[in-house]
Structure 1
Amino acid sequence: MIKKILLALAATISVAVHADINIGESVPTSGLAGDTGKALALGASIYFSRINAQGGINGEPINLITRDDGYDATRTLANTRDLIDKENAVALIGYYGTTSLQELIKSKMLDTAGIPLVGAYTGADSVRTPGSAYFFQTRAGYTQEVEKIVALLNEHLGVSRIAVLAQKDGFGEAGYAAVKNELAKRKLTLAGEGWYDKTTGDTNAAAQALAKANPEAIIMVAISKPASTFAKQFKALGGTSQLYGLSAIQFDNVTRQAGLGVAHGIGLSQVFPAPTNAQLKLVREFQTDAEPFLKSGDYPSYALLEGYISARLLTEALKRAGKNPTRASVYEALSNMHHYDLGGFVVDFSDKKRLGSNFVELTMISATGVLTR
């Protein structure tokens, strides 16, 4: 359903042949991470569609060009070169994946082209510090998420035997290091670890190892599908550990793929406000804009909101960049975006900061399949 909507929206946004505000995006719309990648792209498309319906930026529509990278860093780099050199993108938005961002920043492609990237679905320290002056991050880091989870488990619940499930790549390594470092601060060591392959998503060996160790809690440094598979396998093997995951896991995917009986009770850290929190002006507007593109009963996901937020930030920068925005003028506008309140969620790039938000909260999947905070 999301794929069809995304294609239709892309067609709508690209109708104007002479649109000269090209925005580039490389995300996985296929493969293991395809559901989340499509949601990120759809969220951005929804907001750009709203702006285009209002006349665009100074009369020019925004043309979002989305490329599928299949969660493969090599394809991400190739897509980015095309978006910069062939599509003449004025900015990039909403990339996905730690390894992809590591390779992108290492390539210096953003710096060489002088093109800003707004938002990426990763919180690894390796892409944040020092990162790139052209990478404007909208989410808190994995270190901050892990700190929040471990503080809850250890300080408030008295849990000391904590293990980790991690993906074998830059993402998993970043989260694994964050867990080990946070435990070390408390004079604790890992009670077990399990790893799974990024390409296959096979968590069977990890589930067996961690079910055998059966610690008090397991922190899952995983994306949605492998986390779902692991949770099912682990519980089928008799594992009783409390499961917690980072924000890379979309809870609605877990409840759908693992079943509510398995998903109930899984804790997840979040780096954006709840998409259901209508007390926030941002979320109310998001819900209104997203509603026409969701099937009845569909949940407006965190990934959808993340894409939407990145698009709102970039649109504000385009407006501030003046008529006929360039990469340089958009970069300057973003660099001067000090304490910008989107309506209950604040992003701050002042004083050369590129880590726009420190927001983290903990949630849990309830017995009815919704998140509680």
Structure 2
Amino acid sequence: MTVVRTLLALAFSVATLAYADINIGESVPTSGLAGDTGKALALGASIYFGRVNAQGGINGEHINLITRDDGYDAARTLANTRDLIDKENAVALIGYYGTTPLQELIKSKILDTSGISLVGAYTGADSVRTGASAYFFQTRAGYTQEVEKIVSLLNDHLGVTRIAVLAQKDGFGEAGYAAVKEELAKRKLTLAGEGWYDKNSGDTNAAAQELAKVNPEAIIMVAISKPAGTFAKQYKALGGTSQLYGLSPIQYDEVTKLVGIGNAHGIGLSQVFPAPTNAQLKLVRDFQKDAEPFLKTGDYPSYALLEGYISARLVTEAIKRAGKTPTRASVYAALNNMKRFDLGGFIVDFSDKKRLGSNFVELTMISPTGTLTR
């Protein structure tokens, strides 16, 4: 049993010490290629709900986080969602994972027909961000904004013109790929090369060989953590010298554990939440205090852990505002009227029918010690 799985089980036990009266549903991959990130999202949410329950819950009622494993498969995501709504009577959903699962979820209209809110999803694709569903409340900036930040640094500030892309073959990869092409076109540039890998296998060998032949000045990785790590290792072994940059779905701690600090050092990553080590923010201080019992000695709290924690805080606030007996409709109304909610240095704003709660983006880099510099 992995450390992450053990910690997740411990957190769930804390979150459900008493009979849970308020059910919150979540569908994430807790197995497969994206399993570590999915478990971290669920753990982060469970840690915060555990805190709320330990303090007596909300109006005497405890929160029960019901997490279903979807293996990063859209069909399973839809089946889990129906189960969470129809069988578990969830009043809200939280922290889903992946572009393609979210595209299918939005397309199915399950959120709209059930009148249930989804708070936070691990995707920044425009296809699920803009006018997708009034019931989807997003907590993170989009891939377009992340790519703009990276390309601006590379081209506008560093003079880099030969930029290639590594992308995953699915809705996520296509969204990031399109954003890179569009951002380069604004500067009258074209892609120096492209490499793709299969979503299910995560095999990046062919992509590494293809891009090593080109060896551009920089490569933007539209990838998740494990394929990004294996690509970096393979690419460097083939003699590639490009500066590697990745989008926020890449968790730096997963990369360093998978391929070692030597292969991870120097990878740049865009982030859509404050650094989970930035104790200058009250949000992060609270998060660190709550997460500390669930971290192995020497481990750093991850961005995915913080993302799940933030989504749980928002859902909790909405439940508090929803009245003594929260329903799907009252939770939705509370979220719909959540104006510039300050979580302690990180503001989420759903006022004026906004559904994109944050535009925060910053760039980081994996240091020689395996930590992040900003």
Classify the TM-score, shorter chain.
Answer: over 0.9
Structure 1 segment 325-336 matched on structure 2, within 5 A? 325-336=326-337
Secondary structure at 1:355 match in 2: coil
In structure 2, what is the equivalent of residue 122 of structure 1?
123
Shift of 1:177: 0.2
Structure 1 segment 160-179 matched on structure 2, within 5 A? 160-179=161-180
In structure 1, what is the equivalent of residue 7 of structure 2?
5
In structure 1, what is the equivalent of residue 18 of structure 2?
16
Shift of 1:10: 1.9
Q: Distance in 2 between matches of 1:11 and 1:157?
A: 49
In structure 2, what is the equivalent of residue 362 of structure 1?
363
> C-alpha offsets along residues 67-120 of structure 1, whole Å, 9 cap, x if unaligned?
000000000000000000000000000000000000000000000000000000
Code of the residue aligned with 1:191 in structure 2: it is A
In structure 2, what is the equivalent of residue 277 of structure 1?
278
Q: Which region of structure 1 is more displaced relative to structure 2, 249-258 or 100-109?
A: 249-258
> C-alpha offsets along residues 235-256 of structure 1, whole Å, 9 cap, x if unaligned?
0000000000000000011111
Code of the residue aligned with 1:320 in structure 2: it is R
- TM-score of the aligned structures, taking structure 2 as reference length: 0.99
In structure 2, what is the equivalent of residue 258 of structure 1?
259
In structure 2, what is the equivalent of residue 220 of structure 1?
221
Code of the residue aligned with 1:344 in structure 2: it is G
> C-alpha offsets along residues 214-241 of structure 1, whole Å, 9 cap, x if unaligned?
0000000000000000000000000000
Matched, 1:339 2:340: yes
- TM-score of the aligned structures, taking structure 1 as reference length: 0.99
Secondary structure at 1:20 match in 2: strand
Q: Distance in 2 between matches of 1:7 and 1:24?
A: 16
Secondary structure at 1:306 match in 2: helix
In structure 2, what is the equivalent of residue 194 of structure 1?
195
Q: Distance in 2 between matches of 1:10 and 1:46?
A: 8
Question: Contact 2:15/2:51 (CA < 8 Å) preserved in 1?
Answer: no
Code of the residue aligned with 1:183 in structure 2: it is L
Code of the residue aligned with 2:319 in structure 1: it is L
Shift of 1:16: 3.1
Q: Distance in 1 between matches of 2:15 and 2:44?
A: 13
In structure 1, what is the equivalent of residue 250 of structure 2?
249
Q: Distance in 2 between matches of 1:8 and 1:367?
A: 32
Question: Contact 2:45/2:312 (CA < 8 Å) preserved in 1?
Answer: yes
Stretches of 4+ moved more than 6 A in 1?
A: none
Identity rate, percent: 85
Q: Distance in 2 between matches of 1:330 and 1:283?
A: 25
Structure 1 segment 23-34 matched on structure 2, within 5 A? 23-34=24-35
Secondary structure at 1:178 match in 2: helix
Shift of 1:15: 4.0
Size of the aligned set, in residue pairs, is 372
Q: Distance in 1 between matches of 2:248 and 2:147?
A: 10
In structure 1, what is the equivalent of residue 150 of structure 2?
149
Structure 1 segment 72-83 matched on structure 2, within 5 A? 72-83=73-84
Structure 2 spans left out of the alignment, 5+ residues: none
When the two chains are superposed, the root-mean-square deviation of aligned CA atoms in Å is 0.7
